[in-house]
Structure 1
Amino acid sequence: MARKRKARRNFGRVRKLPSGRYQARYPGPDGILRPADRTFASTTDADLWLAKKRIEIEGGRWLDPAEGQIIVRDWAARWLASVAPQLKHNTQASYRSLINSRINSALGDRELSSLRPITVAEWIADMKTKGLSSSRIRQAYRVLSQLMASAVDNGLISQTPCRGIRLPRMPQTEPHILTPLEASRIVRNASAPNDLLIALLAFAGLRVGEAFALRRMDVDLPGGLLIVDENLAEANGMLVFDTPKSHQRRVLTLAPSLVKRLGAYLDALPGGDDALLFTNRFGRPLRYNQWRKAHFNPAVSGAGLTDVTPHDLRASHGTWVADRYGVMTAAHRLGHSNASVTTRHYARPVAGRDAEVATASDAWLEGHDRADGARSGHDDDEDGSADAPVHV
């Protein structure tokens, strides 16, 4: 026993406090003597703790307790500054808003090392009690999870408190999938040049910000092509031109009738190659809420439709393309680097397809390729159904 105590004393020190409990101190790799984060009921307990600490140091797993004393507010600022250059402007603004309003307000003065999974769970429960949406809560948690994971990577804490957390479920919302004919009605009921802009959303699958950011140089009339390499986003009231959401430039082939209409529009468009295709009446970039209220919503009403958003046109385009030409083609048209995003958020089953499959299955059961009258993968419908080509 004396030898064990001597071995322990060679690494650390144990002393009895006036309270009767024992304090353990140990030298870190830098030689500085540090106290344990708690006291012990016996020298045996203190010896066991010192032995574990010695193993941590010798195994290179030791963390300086002082690092974990950094408060969440300071680490969040440092983390955001380090990742900001890689983020899009609106993402930066979103992260900053979530850190200031949700993370710092509740956890900002806490030390990193003091956070536990129960702390995070209570924080989420408090946001839910205050009526925050599931989406906002999940966004805030995602940011906290990232900055805590970075604290682990940088040796400030041994493990993240963001583990085993149950997040509120997102409500299942489905996009309003239109038929091509319904989309065409919206185009026809829009004032110029908003009809052309809406046609690009529906029949080229552009994001609204991508359509707002189009310039004369992005249109290749001889080739019938549209180059999508820029996006207009609004962050904290400021308009910012940035790369598309996926950071990927893509080239889309347009319908000949759409190319013809673009050509006529460009002939009358003032400005050089850098001129925006679509602006407000003052020649400034469009703002989403103003444009939707003034031009898009009236066109939807004029088409006899309700509950349609500009994003529904993009989702509809993805559905039409995926149904007829496959998910990979739809992913390219929409600018998705991963086709799973297309199927999860955009492409939806077209009405009536399940019945067609049942009819075809009956023929397959009898040993035929397909039932008479069943649709082949690329036959043009003659009844103006959802798969019939629509010219705008």
Structure 2
Amino acid sequence: MGEKTYERERDADKALSLIEAKLTTGDWTDPQRAKVKLGDYADNWISERTNLRPRTVEIYKGLLKRYIRPHLGGMPIGKLDTAAVREWRALLLGNGIGESEVAKAYRFLRAVLMTAADDQIIPRNPCRIRGAGEEKPEERPALTVAKVFELADLMPVRLRALVLLATFASLRWGEVAALRRMDLDLAAQTVSVRQQHVELDTGELLVGPPKSRAGVRTVAIPEAIIPALRDHLDQFTAPEADALIFTGSRGGILRRSNFRRAAKWDENTRKIGFPGLHFHDLRHTGNTIAASSGASLKDLMQRMGHDSVRAALIYQHSTAEADRRIADAMNVKIANNPNGSSSGLSRSS
């Protein structure tokens, strides 16, 4: 607990009583451990979480290096308070860091300091700024079915089926790139997601399980794209069961950067009228189409590969809003119809 000398026994007893009271209520903190620098504590926090995925570790280390260590890294963890956190967040935003990035950095800092509070290094977590960890991502576009096929038809032949499958099976890039022949069952019209490719910023490529337990799933494929998939398997996929379905031009692992180059992604997305389209927007498109079919929340979660209902609810909410717009448009037409008054409808019913 650290040593301190008191001139009078009465003062020592009083101090001891205060410490005992804090121990009883759980409010005691270790003054020695509170001297550790935030940057060092955060480093240890990351290394101690051995269950983190490599990509997650890379993201956390990047947030620490870019946003936390330069401003708060040298501060003793016990000196951090909500005012310091608020000032740090305002500084990042003032320096032009995007709100989404700042929210990620804030959530990471909050998680680190939550552990410090649990370990009784600090009395409570100073990350108490309402809404600071919430991201408000820009609305991403969803293509029409016609635009998906228009984009697919602009692709080199070996990449056409990839665009169709990623869209209509709602697959992430890492999932579609890791698919093997045995994952595709054309007779049953399904694709099974068993693993994913993860590309680190260092260029290292890892093969591992999907993002969550729910990510391991089997997804039904529309019959309309089966011919394209069959042609692709015949022309571009090796016959072995574990052969990668989609590969680079020389048969190697297809990386995202190589795909973008070969697909002339920026050029072709401009051609269809969607400049700035992300590959992930294909998954967003598939999810939107799935939600518009009237699928249940549980079915949407299964198809999307999500443990949480949050993302599925977003798509259901979007579909509900679209349905309300349809009803409102109908209402306008009814109201503008001389025979469409409520009294007229009542007489004819």
TM-score by length of 1: 0.74
Q: State the alpha-carbon separation in 2 of the partners of residues 89 and 346 from structure 1.
A: 32
Deviates more, 1:294-303 or 1:346-355: 346-355
Q: Give the alignment partner of residue 295 of structure 2, picking from 315, 322, 326.
A: 326
Q: For 1:64-83, list aligned pairs within 5 A.
A: 64-83=30-49
Q: Equivalent residue for 2:337?
A: none
Determine the C-alpha separation between the residues in 1 that align with 2:113 and 2:34.
Answer: 11
Return the alpha-carbon distance in structure 1 between the equivalents of residues 115 and 157 of structure 2.
50
Establish whether residue 281 from structure 1 lines up as the match of residue 249 from structure 2: yes
Match of 2:60 in 1: 95
Q: For residue 348 of structure 1, give the secondary structure of its aligned residue in structure 2.
A: helix
Which residue matches 1:311? Answer: 280
Structure-1 residue corresponding to 2:314 = 344
Tell whether 2:126 aligns with 1:156: no
1:29-70: CA deviation from partner (whole Å, max 9, x where unpaired):
xxx74369xx9xx99999866543332245554333112122
SS in structure 1 opposite 2:192?
strand
Q: 1:364 to 1:164 in 2, by over 3 A?
A: farther
> Is residue 267 of structure 1 aligned with residue 234 of structure 2?
yes
AA aligned to 1:338 is: S
Contact 1:233 1:239 in 2 (8 A): yes
- Matched with 1:190 is 155
For 1:56 and 1:367, the matched residues in 2 are separated by 75
Q: Which residue of 2 aligns with 1:231?
A: 196
Check conservation: 1:117, 1:165, Cα contact below 8 A. Answer: no
Distance 1:304 1:175 in 2: 14
Which residue is equivalent to 1:56? Answer: 22
SS of the residue 1:184 aligns to: helix
| Distance in 1 (alpha carbons) for counterparts of 2:11 and 2:96 | 46
The residue number in structure 2 matching 1:241 is 207
> Does the CA-based 8 Å contact 1:148-1:160 persist in structure 2?
yes
In structure 1, what is the Cα distance between the partners aligned to 2:37 and 2:208?
33
| Higher mean C-alpha deviation, range 160-169 or range 269-278 | 160-169
Deviations 1:277-333 (A, max 9, x none): 112223332222342243033443454554432222211211111112235233322
Instruction: Name the larger-Rg structure.
Output: 1
**C-alpha distance in 2 between matches for 1:121 and 1:35:** 37
Aligned residues of 2:288 and 2:315 also touching (Cα < 8 A): no
Structure 1 residue 186: Cα displacement: 1.3
Segments of structure 2 that go 5 or more residues without pairing to the other structure are 335-339
* CA distance in structure 2 between the aligned counterparts of 1:35 and 1:278, rounded to whole angstroms: 72
Instruction: Give the distance between the partners of 1:366 and 1:349, measured in 2 at CA.
Output: 31
Q: 1:107 to 1:346 in 2, by over 3 A?
A: farther
Determine if contact 2:106/2:133 at 8 Å carries over to the other structure: no
* SS of residue matched to 1:325: coil
Q: 2:117 matched to 1:139?
A: no
SS in structure 1 at match of 2:293: helix
Deviation at 1:177, TM superposition (A): 1.7
Equivalent in 291, 315, 322 of residue 259 of structure 2: 291
Name the aligned partner's letter for residue 194 of structure 1: L
Deviation of 1:191 (Å):
1.6
The 10-residue stretch of structure 1 (132-141 or 330-339) with the greater mean CA deviation from structure 2: 330-339
| 244 and 367 in structure 1: CA distance in 2 versus 1, 3 angstrom threshold | farther
Q: Write the distance in 2 (CA, Å) between the matches of 1:45 and 1:97.
A: 48
Q: CA deviation at 1:75?
A: 1.5
Alignment of 1:142-221 (within 5 A): 142-164=107-129, 167=132, 173-221=138-186
8 Å CA contact 2:114, 2:125 repeated in 1: yes
Between the aligned partners of 1:113 and 1:62, the Cα distance in structure 2 is: 12
| Equivalent-residue separation in structure 2 for 1:33 and 1:304 (angstroms) | 71
Deviations 1:147-176 (A, max 9, x none): 111111122222112123663975551111
What's the secondary structure of 2:4's corresponding residue?
strand
256, 263, 281: which is aligned to 2:223?
A: 256
Q: Equivalent residues in 2 for 1:343-362 (5 A)?
A: 343-344=313-314, 348-349=318-319, 353-358=323-328
Displacement of 1:94 in angstroms is: 0.5
- Matched position secondary structure for 1:65: coil
Q: CA deviation at 1:352?
A: 6.7
Whole-angstrom CA distance in 1 between matches of 2:280 and 2:343: 43
| RMSD over aligned Cα atoms | 3.3
Q: 1:68 and 1:200 mapped to 2: Cα distance?
A: 53
| CA distance in 2 between partners of 1:364 and 1:109 (Å) | 72
TM-score in terms of structure 2 length? 0.82
User: Number of residue pairs matched?
Assistant: 333
Deviations 1:209-240 (A, max 9, x none): 21111111211233221001222222122222
Please say if residues 86 and 129 of structure 2, whose CA atoms lie closer than 8 Å, have aligned partners that are also in contact.
no
